[in-house]
Amino acid sequence: MRRLILSIETNGCSCSRLVGIDVPKSAIFRRVLASRGAPPLRQTRRLGSSVPSLPATSIHPRAALMQRLRLSVFPKCYFDDLYSGKMDYLLWLREAATLGAEGVEHYDGFFRGFDEEHLAPVRRVLAETGQTSSLLCFSPDFTHPEAAERARQVERQKTAIDLCVSLGIGHCRTLSGQRFPGLTRKEGVERTVEGIRRSLEYAERRGVVLCMENHYKDGNWQYPEFALPEDVFLEIVGRIDSPHFGVQYDPSNATVGGFDPVAFLEKVKRRVVSMHASDRSLVPGATLEELRQSEGSIGYSDKLRHGETGKGLNDYDAIFRILAGVGFAGWISVEDGVNGMDELRRSIEFLRRKREEYYPEAGDWGK
């Protein structure tokens, strides 16, 4: 039996519910899917690559019907100031409301506390400005060499899940962890799968979806992401099958990882529940080898440059074509603005145009 997942949104919170319907034998639902522009249900096939596609799980946490794809913003430009407390987070939320997106992606490190005293003002400003909390950016370090620290990371992930519930967020990012010196592939995969599975037990009870990003490096880490290589990422994701787990796709990180972001999306497209949009490239004259040599330093390498979305290496026509083809209807969050708010605003305008082009029946939901 194919299971159809209906996505219900209420008060800014998205919830997915499994409905046990034999879709292939139901002419009604086949007609509904066709009328909404959704593709016919079929099995994922290999694409001829040495790295296989991920199978389409029957309990995928994505709506089968074409729904509303929405845009949110993440303040890459203000990350350090918000993390240190130098910039007031409420000020950023009010500024975000002027950029033309529908939501805001949060980062747990931007909050000075997770109690009601600190969260109530955030909810109030979001309500006043008509914005929705889209995603929670979180960076667990499940690959740490010490078992006690790995257990603490699971507790951190649970705290992040609670924060999602408090802010009405349906999706929380998860990662593998750092690629520590001496860490073997087997050790890293096992530690990551264990950490995510332990966190998922809690996420399922709280109604939050964990989305694993193909990630380069957290701004506060010393080493790059363990699961940055495509085959490692796919192995980890392929071992976790839950209605509360999916992929957060980031095309720029695929480029940094040395693999084709479009070919990679073809392999994970039926598991994608959220996306980060940016256009990242190497600074002029820099090479991937120099980027690798910068490993071991805190934060992002100075060999990388964030640019305006739509003006870099990413093929957004191919990306939107694939996402629309599988009926993706989640959040696309823009990581941009390093060169100013005007750049971030143009990035959102670019993505709005792509949304209108590839989701014509859905229309545009700008302010």
CATH number for the domain including 281?
3.20.20.150
Residues with Cβ within 8 Å of 320's Cβ and at least 6 positions away in sequence, in order, are 354, 355, 357, 358
- 47 falls within a domain: no
Query: Are 82 and 24 within one domain?
Result: no
- Rounded distance between C-alpha atoms, residue 200 and residue 4, angstroms: 21
Query: Are 91 and 12 within one domain?
Result: no
Question: For residues 197 and 154, is the Cβ–Cβ distance under 8 A?
Answer: no
- Rounded distance between C-alpha atoms, residue 360 and residue 209, angstroms: 27
- 177 falls within a domain: yes
- 55 falls within a domain: no
Query: Are 208 and 263 within one domain?
Result: yes
Residues with Cβ within 8 Å of 223's Cβ and at least 6 positions away in sequence, in order, are 178, 179, 180, 181, 217, 295, 296
Look at the chain and count its residues: 367
Give the confidence band of 293 by pLDDT, cuts at 50, 70, 90.
low
Give the confidence band of 288 by pLDDT, cuts at 50, 70, 90.
low
- 216 falls within a domain: yes
Which domain, by its residues, includes 11? 1-42
Query: Are 32 and 77 within one domain?
Result: no
Which residue matches tokens 């805190």?
Answer: 298
Query: Are 37 and 179 within one domain?
Result: no
pLDDT tens profile 232-265: 999 999 999 999 999 999 999 998 888 999 999 9
Kindly report which listed range (65-74, 104-113, 133-142, 145-154) carries the lowest average pLDDT score: 65-74
pLDDT tens profile 29-47: 333 333 334 444 333 333 3
**What's the pLDDT score for residue 51?**
52
Query: Are 34 and 106 within one domain?
Result: no
Query: Are 6 and 124 within one domain?
Result: no
- 63 falls within a domain: no
